[in-house]
A and B are shown apart, each in its own frame.
Chain A
Amino acid sequence: MRLVKARFDGFRLLNGVEIAFSLDPTRNITVIRAANESGKTTMLTALQWCLFGEEALPAGYSPQSMDLTTGQLSETVGEVVYEVASKGVTRKYRLIRSLTEQVGSPVRSKSSTQLYEMLPTGAKEIPNVEAHLAVHMPSDLREVFFTDGDRALSFIEGLRTDQQRRVKRAIEQLMGLPMLEEAVEHVKKVERDVRAKADAATSNDELKRTRAALEALETTIPELEGRLQTTTDEIANLNDLYGKADRELQEALKRGNRDEIAGELRRIQKERAASEKRIRDAEGRQAGLLSNKAFAREMLGGKLRAAGRLLDDLRKKGAIPNKTIPILEDRLQHSDCICGESLDEHTPEGARRRRRIGQLIEESRDADALKAKVSDLYFEGRELFSAGAATWISDYTGAFSDRNTEQHTYEELGRAEAELEAKLDKVKDDNVQQAREMRDTYRERLDEKIPLAGRLDQQIRQHREQRVDLEKRFQTLSAREEKGRRFTCELTAARDMRGVVERALEIMKTREVQAVSLKMNEYFLRMIGAHPDNALIQRAEITSEFRIAVYGRNERMLDPSMDLNGASRRALTIAFVLALTEVSGVEAPNVIDTPLGMMSGFVKTEVVRVASDASAQLILFLTHDEINGCEAILDARAGEVTTITNPLHFPRILKNDPGTTAAQALQCGCDHRSVCSVCDRYPSAADADEREAA
């Protein structure tokens, strides 16, 4: 199917807007250029409404014109001309969908459709329009062929199970797999019917019991499979949540545990108090230097040395030390003198000498309490007046340095304390605790679900084995019955047929998914310009679990929603949509609204080129910014370009007065490079201000 042209009247902003679509296979792109709020998304919605009816409208969406007020009659008409090629013959159709309703009415009206085949002889109305439309453009395919850059991201963003479900659904719908699934169900039903007939024919009790058991298994197994699927989904989600909670816990741990920080803060505060005490002690030691002996010795130096010289003189004269009396007294205890003479009191000379010594002792006693004092002074004061190294300056330097060092330590600790206090303020009371509890909760739930999945899987296997046994038994029992033989044959045929269809379904699922996967990879790598030798992104694939996965160097798996930039994410989802539509073999237009957001340069141009290559017909709704930078590829590939303008953008955005204040988009024939008085715009608010000032 290819779109030829479309016209919309009374559909929100669109009134009298008519678009011609390119049918040139070498220039297969149609560009609808429009700024934000000018009707691009409205036109995408209008196209879908026209082709698929009310089910294509978002919930609560009304196509009524913006200018109508409550009670007025709203008339909306969409007309699409399209062609369908089949068996070498191309037929052209004209579809008209119309809707009339009162503005503000709580009851929503249903649109009516008319379909005409355009024959050389004139238009021929076709009855049963919806049935025809379903063949030309199945509604199941709508969301794949009609999309926008943001919505396409849902294939790789959000919960993993939701991503997988969306990818799986898109693939299955486009490949027609639901039909095969229906066929499987149908053959199963036939099998059950034949089995029941065989049972009725034989009236064999055992056969009946076997049939009942088989039927019970036919009910139980899908139930268990459904529960297993649900549990597997829950496990996948819980794994995601567990991973997220674990990352949050790690982040919280990086920020720090409040108790640990508080403990560290107490330790620092204690250290700081000790440091402060050491500073006080150091100050005390330095102050002590102003009162100590070394200080006095060096400050009083001249006077002390003068006194010292006097005392030294006395010592040299023998007055110091004053030790005569003890020596003399000591001598009197002996019989001879130091000089060797006899002190024997029994000899006249000895007695005379002893008297003389006694006399000397008495004279010395009288002489000197003063000498004693001076003698003591000499010995006690020698440290003060003797020549010696000056130590006070080095003592002071040392003490001052110690104080400074300790002061530095004190200030460092103060800074550490302030940092910890700030850190403590930032850490919520229960950050780490909450994150840990959350993670543990998910772990507990996983611990419940994983064994449950194992049990369900086990049960399903057992039931399947039972079914195989029962089927064999049923076959044996049926075969015994003469009347049952015919049914046995039918049953065998039905079972074989089911096997064939089931295998076909399985093969299709696997093979088609692989084909889509390979195509998507090819398109994606082309779009982002990845070179196999050195690119950071090496390949993309659709996994057997229907997940879009991306691999970097060394086969490292990347999470598309986190590890890819915005342009690559969009390129990946567009590559997926293009691959899907191409592999499906369905020929239909790819209609994409704002596909080039966040892209620039190479990627933007290549996305357009690849999309053009991969599409039978490519219809792009683009803003001016999206067009900027890919004009050359549009020159080469765009067969039709039209520009839509919102007149209400005057005077802030539009340069020229459009002559109307109606909420109706204006259309002009300007292409992606040209402007006219209708669509000419200011590049920025500053330019508008400048013009207004002028």
Chain B
Amino acid sequence: MNPFAGSDIMVPEDYREHFDAFVQKKEGRAAQPVHQPFARNIDMWFFAICLAVKKGLTPAGNPGKTYKAAEGVVLNSDPWRPTALTLLAIGETDDITIVDRPGDMLRIANGYALAGLPELLALLQEREGDTALDYLSENVEQLLRPARPTAGAAV
């Protein structure tokens, strides 16, 4: 069940060109995963949410002028994603009843996406000669790698 099927995913207009640059499936362009690591807009949007959450960023609001980057129904293709977004909303609010309020849940998700997108674009811009795929993968690896015990910590 996808509670977001009737909603649209809106992102600031300023990010449109970046979505066009790093998403593969655009008209007339061959897919190059190393340079365009995201298959669809929804993947890049979801990545931004994950990045923001992992980095402990505060969800952002007031996006200003937006455009429809994806339709909520697209989330149907990966059924675990609506579930993850719902759990994220519960985890964020400690309120189980939020499951009955898809708009609120989407607002929370989008808040994280808006917080994560500048981080994501900053990473993509600082990659220098590295490919987008490799640079993002390395950064994700660093984020997910368990922290080593620091000096003086109990062994």
A binding-site residues for B, Cβ under 8 Å: 280, 283-284, 286-291, 293, 295-308, 310-311, 314, 370, 373-374, 376-377, 380-381, 383-385, 390, 392-393, 396, 400
B133 touches A287 (CB 8 A): yes
Q: Known contacts A377-B87, A381-B84; decide if A296 and B50 are in contact (CB<8 Å).
A: yes
Closest-by-CB residue of A relative to B42 is A291
Is B80 positioned at the interface, with any CB of A under 8 Å from its CB? yes
Query: Shortest Cβ distance from B19 into chain A, in angstroms?
Result: 14
A370 touches B100 (CB 8 A): yes
A373 touches B99 (CB 8 A): yes
List, in ascending order, chain A residues with CB within 8 A of B133's CB.
283, 286-287, 290
Interface centre among B89, B90, B92 (most CB of A within 10 A): B90
Q: Known contacts A287-B33, A290-B43; decide if A304 and B99 are in contact (CB<8 Å).
A: no
Cα A3 to Cα B133 in complex, Å, equals: 97
List, in ascending order, chain B residues with CB within 8 A of A284's CB.
31, 33
List, in ascending order, chain B residues with CB within 8 A of A286's CB.
33, 133, 137
Cα A619 to Cα B50 in complex, Å, equals: 103
Q: Which of B104-145 contact A (CB under 8 A)?
A: 133, 136-137, 140-141, 143-145
Cα A295 to Cα B47 in complex, Å, equals: 9
A396: which of B34, B84, B140 is its contact (CB, 8 Å)?
B140
Closest-by-CB residue of B relative to A298 is B144
Is B94 positioned at the interface, with any CB of A under 8 Å from its CB? yes
Query: Shortest Cβ distance from B130 into chain A, in angstroms?
Result: 13
List, in ascending order, chain A residues with CB within 8 A of B50's CB.
295-296, 299-300
Cα A376 to Cα B49 in complex, Å, equals: 23
List, in ascending order, chain B residues with CB within 8 A of A310's CB.
90-91, 94, 96
A381 touches B86 (CB 8 A): yes
List, in ascending order, chain A residues with CB within 8 A of B73's CB.
none
Cα A305 to Cα B39 in complex, Å, equals: 28
B96 touches A380 (CB 8 A): no
Closest-by-CB residue of A relative to B92 is A303
A291 touches B137 (CB 8 A): no
List, in ascending order, chain A residues with CB within 8 A of B4's CB.
none
Cα A284 to Cα B30 in complex, Å, equals: 12
Cα A335 to Cα B39 in complex, Å, equals: 59
Q: Which of B33-53 contact A (CB under 8 A)?
A: 33-34, 37-39, 43, 46-47, 49-51, 53
Please provide the 7 A-B residue pairs with the shortest distance between their CB atoms, ordered closest to farther: A303-B91, A299-B50, A307-B90, A306-B91, A283-B33, A287-B33, A307-B87
List, in ascending order, chain B residues with CB within 8 A of A392's CB.
140, 144
Query: Shortest Cβ distance from A269 into chain B, in angstroms?
Result: 20
B binding-site residues for A, Cβ under 8 Å: 1, 31-34, 37-39, 43, 46-47, 49-51, 53-54, 78-81, 83-84, 86-92, 94, 96-97, 99-100, 133, 136-137, 140-141, 143-146
A291 touches B96 (CB 8 A): no
B87 touches A299 (CB 8 A): no
A377 touches B99 (CB 8 A): yes
Cα A573 to Cα B43 in complex, Å, equals: 89
Query: Shortest Cβ distance from B98 into chain A, in angstroms?
Result: 10
Cα A383 to Cα B96 in complex, Å, equals: 18
A304 touches B33 (CB 8 A): no
B87 touches A384 (CB 8 A): yes
A303: which of B32, B47, B80, B88 is its contact (CB, 8 Å)?
B88
Query: Shortest Cβ distance from B25 into chain A, in angstroms?
Result: 12
A296 touches B80 (CB 8 A): yes
Cα A314 to Cα B90 in complex, Å, equals: 13
Cα A468 to Cα B3 in complex, Å, equals: 124
List, in ascending order, chain A residues with CB within 8 A of B84's CB.
293, 296-297, 300, 304, 381, 384
Query: Shortest Cβ distance from A396 into chain B, in angstroms?
Result: 6
List, in ascending order, chain A residues with CB within 8 A of B100's CB.
370, 373
Cα A374 to Cα B83 in complex, Å, equals: 11
A290 touches B137 (CB 8 A): yes
Query: Shortest Cβ distance from B9 into chain A, in angstroms?
Result: 15
B38 touches A291 (CB 8 A): yes
B34 touches A381 (CB 8 A): no
Cα A104 to Cα B141 in complex, Å, equals: 98
Query: Shortest Cβ distance from A318 into chain B, in angstroms?
Result: 15
List, in ascending order, chain A residues with CB within 8 A of B91's CB.
300, 302-307, 310
List, in ascending order, chain A residues with CB within 8 A of B47's CB.
290-291
Cα A308 to Cα B84 in complex, Å, equals: 11
Cα A663 to Cα B30 in complex, Å, equals: 84
Cα A314 to Cα B31 in complex, Å, equals: 45
List, in ascending order, chain B residues with CB within 8 A of A302's CB.
53, 91
Query: Shortest Cβ distance from B58 into chain A, in angstroms?
Result: 13
List, in ascending order, chain B residues with CB within 8 A of A390's CB.
144, 146
Query: Shortest Cβ distance from A280 into chain B, in angstroms?
Result: 7
Interface centre among B87, B88, B143 (most CB of A within 10 A): B87
Q: Known contacts A283-B33, A296-B46; decide if A376 and B38 are in contact (CB<8 Å).
A: no
Cα A384 to Cα B88 in complex, Å, equals: 10
List, in ascending order, chain B residues with CB within 8 A of A314's CB.
96
Q: Known contacts A308-B87, A310-B90, A384-B87; decide if A291 and B143 are in contact (CB<8 Å).
A: no
- Residue contacts A-B, CB under 8 angstroms, 20 given: A283-B32, A283-B133, A287-B33, A287-B37, A287-B39, A288-B39, A289-B137, A290-B37, A291-B39, A298-B144, A299-B50, A299-B51, A300-B87, A300-B91, A303-B53, A310-B96, A373-B100, A380-B83, A392-B144, A393-B144
List, in ascending order, chain A residues with CB within 8 A of B51's CB.
299
Query: Shortest Cβ distance from B89 into chain A, in angstroms?
Result: 8
Cα A645 to Cα B144 in complex, Å, equals: 93
Cα A295 to Cα B51 in complex, Å, equals: 10
Cα A306 to Cα B84 in complex, Å, equals: 12
Query: Shortest Cβ distance from A548 into chain B, in angstroms?
Result: 71
Cα A357 to Cα B118 in complex, Å, equals: 57
List, in ascending order, chain A residues with CB within 8 A of B137's CB.
286, 289-290, 396, 400
Given contacts A283-B32, A307-B89, 20 further A-B contacts (CB under 8 A): A283-B33, A287-B38, A287-B39, A288-B39, A289-B137, A290-B43, A296-B50, A298-B144, A299-B143, A300-B87, A307-B86, A307-B87, A307-B88, A307-B91, A310-B96, A311-B90, A370-B99, A374-B96, A390-B144, A400-B137
Closest-by-CB residue of B relative to A284 is B33
